[in-house]
Amino acid sequence: MALKIWVDGKLLEKSEAKVSVYDHGLLYGDGIFEGIRVYNGSIFECDAHLRRLWDSAKAIRLTIPVTQSEFRSAMEQTIKANGFTDCYIRAVVTRGVGNLGISPEKCPRPTMIIIADTIELYPPAVYEKGMAVITASVTRNHPNMLSARIKSLNYLNNILAKIEALDAGVPEAVMLNHNGNVAECTADNLFIVRDGQVATPLPTEDILQGITRGVILKLCGRLGIPLVEKVLQRHDLYVADEFFLTGTGAEVIPVTKIDGRVVGNGQVGPITKRLIETYHKHVRGQE
């Protein structure tokens, strides 16, 4: 069955789902998006994703022309039309069709897109054995240029760091902020474990406050695992006992090497394993 894509209130065949070459999302990366998981037919952390989408829109002075409730219904409609019970949703809102100038005033109505599809970012073996990462030379955008808290279509910063990772033969790269502190990876938040305590960068360290990141914070509290949000530097990653990443697509993924240095004993650590297992149960309501 061909995928059906929701575009501005209509479900279209994948081959027919198109946007104008004059859409400012294409011309200038002027727009926002969310990546959302569906487990057992339920949209995971839907309220949190919609809130961040609307917050991102407000931050870039973009008015989404439907309510959050209507947008949720559109996502549910798209899932149902494609017969999915487990899938990945990409929700996109662009500034809309305008002219060849950058002024948003020339874009009378935003373009809204909802894609429901399957996703597998990493093979199963990576979750069992961990993966290697590098530190990218490309730094995060300065927060006074573009806040990392906005999940915008301006992803070139991340893409350039991703290219560095791929050139180095690894799937991910750690990005530092303008102060040289650890921020996040190209598509995931990061956590380390040292002496039984989980640590992750503060929201003020130029990170996107990931929805999965937030779930892990809550799960650590529920499991009684000590956790702190603080400034981290590369040295902290090098001497960590455990290291893992979180993201909607990747879920929870262990890291066992960074910049050629083995993390801990080179195996997936006990706290990481426990959080992976608990997260998988949590998303499917099996706790």
Tokens 């990546």 — which residue? 35
Q: Give the residues of the chain that fall short of pLDDT 50.
A: none
Shared domain check, 276 and 142: yes
Shared domain check, 234 and 131: yes
Please pick, among 151, 218, 273, 281, the residue that the annotation labels catalytic: 151
Q: Write the CATH number for 261.
A: 3.20.10.10
Shared domain check, 162 and 31: no
- Out of 117, 144, 173, a domain closes at 117
Spatial contact of 22 and 99, defined as CB atoms under 8 Å apart? yes
Shared domain check, 129 and 70: no
Quick one: pLDDT at residue 285? Answer: 84
Quick one: pLDDT at residue 286? Answer: 78
Spatial contact of 254 and 272, defined as CB atoms under 8 Å apart? yes
Cα 241 to Cα 265: distance, rounded to the nearest angstrom? 8
Spatial contact of 150 and 93, defined as CB atoms under 8 Å apart? no
- Out of 117, 150, 177, a domain closes at 117
Helix (H, G, I), strand (E, B) or coil at 252: strand
Quick one: pLDDT at residue 181? Answer: 98
Q: Residue 5: what are its φ and ψ, rounded to 5°?
A: -115, 135
Shared domain check, 233 and 207: yes
Shared domain check, 89 and 209: no
Domain range holding 96?
A: 4-117
- What are the Cα distances from residue 19, in Å, to 5, 93, 94, 223? 12, 12, 10, 46
Where does the chain have alpha helices with state H?
24-28, 46-59, 68-81, 124-129, 156-167, 211-223, 234-238, 270-283
Quick one: pLDDT at residue 62? Answer: 98
Q: Write the CATH number for 53.
A: 3.30.470.10
Q: Could you tell me which residues come within 8 angstroms of residue 258 by beta carbon, excluding any fewer than 6 positions away?
A: 132, 133, 134, 135, 174, 237, 238, 243
| Count of other CB atoms within 10 angstroms of residue 69 | 9
Q: Which two tokens mark 63?
A: 């008015």
Q: Respond yes or no: is residue 151 known to be catalytic.
A: yes
Q: Which long-range contacts (CB under 8 A, 24 or more apart) does 203-206 make?
A: 203/149, 203/229, 205/177, 205/181, 205/231, 205/232, 206/140, 206/141, 206/142, 206/143, 206/148, 206/177, 206/178
Spatial contact of 52 and 58, defined as CB atoms under 8 Å apart? no
Quick one: pLDDT at residue 120? Answer: 82
Shared domain check, 82 and 43: yes
Shared domain check, 265 and 142: yes
Q: Which two tokens mark 5?
A: 């894509």
List pLDDT tens digits, range 27-65: 999 999 999 999 999 999 999 999 999 999 999 999 999
Shared domain check, 208 and 254: yes
Shared domain check, 204 and 89: no
Q: Which two tokens mark 51?
A: 């809130």
CA-based torsion, 56, 26, 120, 6: positive or negative: positive
| Angle between helix 211-223 and helix 270-283 axes, rounded to 10 deg | 110
Q: How many domains does the chain have?
A: 2
Shared domain check, 141 and 63: no
Shared domain check, 89 and 65: yes
Cα 118 to Cα 198: distance, rounded to the nearest angstrom? 31
- Out of 117, 146, 174, a domain closes at 117
